[in-house]
Structure 1
Amino acid sequence: MPSDSIAVTGASGALGRLVVRRLLDLVPAGRIVAVVRDPARVADLAERGVTVRRGDYDEPGGLAEALAGVNRLLLISSPELDAGRRTAQHRDAIGAASKAGVGAVAYTSFLGADAEAGGLTEAHHATELAIRDSGLPYTMLRNPFYTDAFVHPGLRAAVAAGELTGGTGGRGLNTATRHDLAEAAAAVLTGDGHDGRGYDLTGPLWTFPELAAVLSEVSGSPVAHREEPPAGPMGFLHGLARAGVLERQTDDLARLLVRPATRLRDAVEAALAG
């Protein structure tokens, strides 16, 4: 294993795969380690020369073995919803990284996790503290909600109906695309000067009325916006936007990308194209 190897945990997930693909554009495949629970799910990456190792947040001993010889690690947060279990998994993963002698860790945290210790940020806040306490050089990548959760091929139904509903009260959302966040993570993993930094990553603000207007322009069919909160988990996200808590803006993402973050129109064009 090269001394400058880079590992990505959760490499079979949507974000992890994008990070590995971006790394393949930046460094030789032999430097990349994809750590996954099921190696069969990333056989395509192995065929491209990426080293694939089995690693599970619930098995810290095996995870330490998977991280042996790794210089830089991207610790992608666990999909576990229970904050207590998620925090325990992350702490075990940090311990495994320390045991393996990993040189530095970047962690996919969440906006506000540096200051807030409850709700959505509970596990992320605890994880950031654990990383700092570990003594490992670190970079915190505080991601926003994904644009992909709102702008996706399902919007074709809104175009067909001529109506887009949303319960955000016209307030802005500072989401970012997975592609942009993956590219930013890869930039940190392959660049210098990021140790000890915390990046608050946000894309350009957009609103649901604006989304309806862009859908109209891109599709060529009129799409009107109607204020109506959705049910279920999306209703919760719309409520956060309506309260104005998703309007924070920084230039951290654009600086890591060395370009503007993806515009709403570009995201809509990609979504409608499928």
Structure 2
Amino acid sequence: MGKIIVTGASGQFGSAAARQLLGKCAAEDLVFLSRTPESLAEFAETGAHVRQADFDNPASLAAATRGGEKMLLISTTRVGTRVEQHRNAVEAAVANGVGHIVYTSVIGGGMAQHPGIEQHDHYATEQLIEKSGAAWTHLRNSLYSNAVATAMAIPALEAGSKPDNAGDGKVAMVSREDCVASAVGVLTQEGHANKAYDITGPERLSIPQALAMISEMAGKPIELIPVDDEGMYQYFDSLGVPRTASDILPDGPIPWASEGMVTFGQSIREGYFDVLSDDVEMITGQKPRTLHSVLEQYKDLWPK
């Protein structure tokens, strides 16, 4: 097996993938990339290759992707402007002979028409990878249970309420751990070229059902306040969140825009996330974790 490259190896997803790959592959066959390679010291000590890579600097990517056969392209966080970053990484990798690109996409990532702002980036990236000449695998991840257990649960428990625009739309929330294990499986197994997988948890739940589960486990009431999309924007406005990616202040206090969150809720409400798949078990040999088990994992972070 040739070398496996992992982009964004200092992030939560990338570092978890790197650790799993070190358990399955020889360290010298692994290449871990980061804008801040000094943050990858634990991996350098194993004998893995650690390289500096900046998605906004194509010259750095030419050196960073040398000698790789497969690459895990973890989508960057810059919604609205990340397709150019992804293009730089894909073009550098293919020019260096990388033959298979595995990409962390989103449920519905292959749809040309979709309300989700974030999905538009993923769709464009899927398309450019498919046209790159490399083999591809798209891992279309569902909503992270980990985010529900933290970013959603903690403010809702603190406030005792949560405005929400997702209605009764269903989503099969998936643990980040299952997404990582699926990515590592695809990178280390044969037979996954030119396929797209829906990476979901084991059950379809609505946001109100998830909040009811959180409320019951915490022993604290959460009032769900149904709002329309404009009401959701106004809620984020009240928190000082910029509406669009172009409104984000460089080095400002909030590095994300509410349009991603609002159109994500709209996508759930309109059924775009109502997908249940057994791809996690097929790839990893393990059943995906339930939302309840992930909530248990994070419960000690909740307000008492």
**Fold shared, TM-score > 0.5 on shorter chain:** yes
CA distance 1:170–1:133, shift in 2 (3 Å):
closer
Aligned residues: CA RMSD: 2.5
Deviation larger for 224-233 or 53-62: 224-233
SS in 2 for 1:44: helix
- Find 2:87's aligned residue among 86, 91, 115: 91
Instruction: Give CA deviations for 1:134-193 in whole Å, capped at 9, x if unaligned.
Output: 211221112223222222277356557766664433332223221111111001001110
Deviation larger for 124-133 or 72-81: 124-133
Match of 1:263 in 2: 290
Match of 2:123 in 1: 125
TM-score in terms of structure 2 length: 0.78
TM-score in terms of structure 1 length: 0.86
Deviation larger for 234-243 or 190-199: 234-243
SS in 1 for 2:68: coil
Deviation of 1:43 after TM superposition, in Å, equals: 1.7
Structure 2 gaps of 5+ residues are 237-257
Structure 1 gaps of 5+ residues are none
CA contact (8 A) 1:37 1:54 kept: yes
Match of 2:59 in 1: 61
Output the amino acid matched with 1:45. F
Aligned equivalents of 1:250 and 1:111: distance in 2? 11
Deviation larger for 233-242 or 43-52: 233-242
CA contact (8 A) 2:108 2:272 kept: no
Match of 2:214 in 1: 215
Deviation of 1:6 after TM superposition, in Å, equals: 1.0
Please show how residues 131-170 of structure 1 align to structure 2 within 5 Å: 131-152=129-150, 155=153, 158=156, 166-170=164-168
- Find 2:19's aligned residue among 18, 21, 24: 21
Aligned equivalents of 2:127 and 2:118: distance in 1? 16
How many pairs align? Answer: 269
Does the alignment pair 1:115 with 2:114? Answer: no
- Find 2:276's aligned residue among 243, 246, 249: 249
Moved >6 Å (runs of 4+): none
